[in-house]
Amino acid sequence: MATTSLDLAKVRNIGIMAHIDAGKTTTTERILYYTGMSYKIGEVHDGAATTDWMAQEQERGITITSAAVTCHWTVDEVDNTINIIDTPGHVDFTVEVERSLRVLDGAVTVFDGVAGVEPQSETVWRQADRYGVPRICFVNKLDRTGADFFRCVDMIVDRLNAVPLVMQLPIGAEAGFKGVVDLVRMKALVWSEETKLGEMYDVVDIPEDLRAQAEEWHGKLVEAVAENDEEMMELYLEGEEPTQEQLYTAIRRVTLASTGTGDTTITPVFCGTAFKNKGVQPLLDAVVRYLPSPLDVEAIEGHSPRNPEEVVARKPSEEEPLAALAFKIASDPHLGKLTFIRVYSGVLHAGAQVQNSVKDKKERIGKIYRMHANKREEIDRVGAGDIVAVMGLKQTTTGETLSDPANQVILESMDFPAPVIEVA
Ligand code: GDP
C-alpha cells in the first residue's frame, strides 16, 4: 500500500469546464486514456496492469464515474499526478459548481471550435474568475465544418474580456486538420490522417507555407508575455530571444499570476480535436507546465469553530494540523458511501479519528482510496494538497471540514459569493 507523501510541486488539481456539448466528456476520456496508457499503477486492488484494462475499456468505452479521478503524466521525464475534479456542467447547481471550483487549483476551459464562446462558457468563466482559478483554453472540434480557431480566439477577447496567449497554430482545417504549430518550440506536431486512439504525434519542421505566420505569432506570443512579465520584458527590451525554457517559465508565471480577480485573465490557448485524437497530449503537457500546483496557491483561510471572527490560515504542508474539506458524497456500487475530500493541510491516516468541526462530532476514517479511471487504489495516508475518497464517514456532508481534534478550523463558510446571474 502506498505510504509515501507526494511531492506537491508535481501535483495538479484541475477541473475541466465547458458549455454543454463542447467536448468536455470526450476530452476527459481522452486524457484518461493517454495518461492510463503511459502509466502503470503501482498497486491496484486486483493487480491487473493498466494496459490490460485499457484494451478492455477501449472495447466498452471508458466511463468517467468518479467525482475526482487521479492520473499521471510525464513531462520532461518527470512524473506528475493530475487529479481531475468533476465540475458540474449545469449552471443552475451554483453551490456545487462553486464547491468544485474551491477544491481545484486550475482549470481547462474547452470551447467548440464552431460555436466558440457560448453562454455557459461565459458563466463558468466568470465563476472561475470569482474563485481566482488560473486556466488554459482548448479550442476543440477543429475537424468540424465551419470550425475557426481565430474566431474563437477573438471571442475569448470580446466575450470573456480575457487576454489569450495563442500557443499553437492549426495546421490544415476542418476535415484536413492535421496538427498544430507549437509556437514555443517552433516545431510542427502532426498526427496521421486517421489518428488512432492513443497515437502520438510526430515532431517535424514547420511547413513552408506556415513559416511566416508562425514567426509572426511567435513574436506576438513573446510580446504578450513580456507585457505581463518583468523578466521577459527585460530580455525583450535587450532584443534577446528567450530560450524555450525561459518562455515556459514566464508563461507559467503569467498564467498563475492572472487569476481574474484583478481585471483581465491572461490565458494560454491550445487547439485540436479530442474526438479525432489530435491535440490532447500537448494539452496535458500544458496542464503540467502552466497550471498551479497546490504550492502555488495561497494558504487557505477558514475560521475557528469557537469564534467565526477568528481567521485561521492553513498552509499546504504536512507539518500543519489536519484540515480537509468534504466536497462530494457518492455511492459506489461496491464500496457503498464514499466521501471525496481535499486535504488542505496536515496528513490523514486510514483509521484515524478526526473532528467534523462544523457538526462538532467525532468521525472515524475507514479506508482511503485514490480513484483512477478504471480502479481504486487503497492507500493508508493522504497528505496536504491531495484529493481522495474515504470510507466510514457517518455524519459528514458536503462543505464540512474535517480537522485535527486539537486544532480545529472551519474552511467553508456558508456565505458564498452571490450566484452568477445569467444575462439574457
Ligand atoms: P460535453 O457535453 O461537453 O461533455 O461534450 P461531449 O464530449 O459529450 O461531446 C458532445 C458531442 O460532440 C459528442 O457527440 C462528441 O462525439 C462530439 N465531439 C466531441 N469532441 C469532438 C471533436 O473534436 N470533433 C467532433 N467532430 N466532434 C466532437
Which residue's CA is minimally distant from atom 19 of ligand 1?
23
Per-residue pLDDT tens digits for 6-27: 899 999 999 999 998 999 999 9
- Which residue among 17, 19, 21, 145 has the greatest number of ligand 1 atoms within 8 angstroms of its CB, and so is best to mutate? 21
Non-local CB neighbours of 268 within 8 Å, separated by 6+ positions: 136, 137, 164, 165, 167, 251, 255, 286, 290
pLDDT exceeds 80 at position 56: no
**Which pTM value belongs to this model?**
0.91
Which residue's CA is minimally distant from atom 25 of ligand 1?
141
Q: Is 102 in the pocket of ligand 1 (CB under 6 A)?
A: no
pLDDT exceeds 50 at position 40: no
Q: Is 420 in the pocket of ligand 1 (CB under 6 A)?
A: no
Strand partners, 301: 313
* pLDDT confidence band for 412 (50 / 70 / 90): confident
> Do 112 and 23 touch, CB atoms closer than 8 A?
yes
Residue 92 confidence (pLDDT): 56
Which residue's CA is minimally distant from atom 28 of ligand 1?
275
* pLDDT confidence band for 89 (50 / 70 / 90): low
Which residue's CA is minimally distant from atom 6 of ligand 1?
23
Q: Is 24 in the pocket of ligand 1 (CB under 6 A)?
A: yes
Q: Give one word for 172, left, alpha or beta, with left for phi > 0 and alpha for psi -120 to 50.
A: left
ipTM for this prediction: 0.99
Residue 3 confidence (pLDDT): 61
Most confident of 4-13, 59-68, 113-122, 141-150: 141-150
SS (H, E, C) 334-373: CCEEEEEEEEEECEEECCCEEEECCCCEEEECCCEEEECC
Residue 26 CA, ligand 1 centroid: distance in Å: 6
Which of 67-76, 177-186, 206-215 shows the lowest per-residue confidence on average (mean pLDDT)? 67-76
Residue 423 confidence (pLDDT): 43
pLDDT (average), residues 75-94 = 83
Q: Tell the residue number behind the cell numbers 466510514, with chain if given.
A: 392
Residue 61 confidence (pLDDT): 42
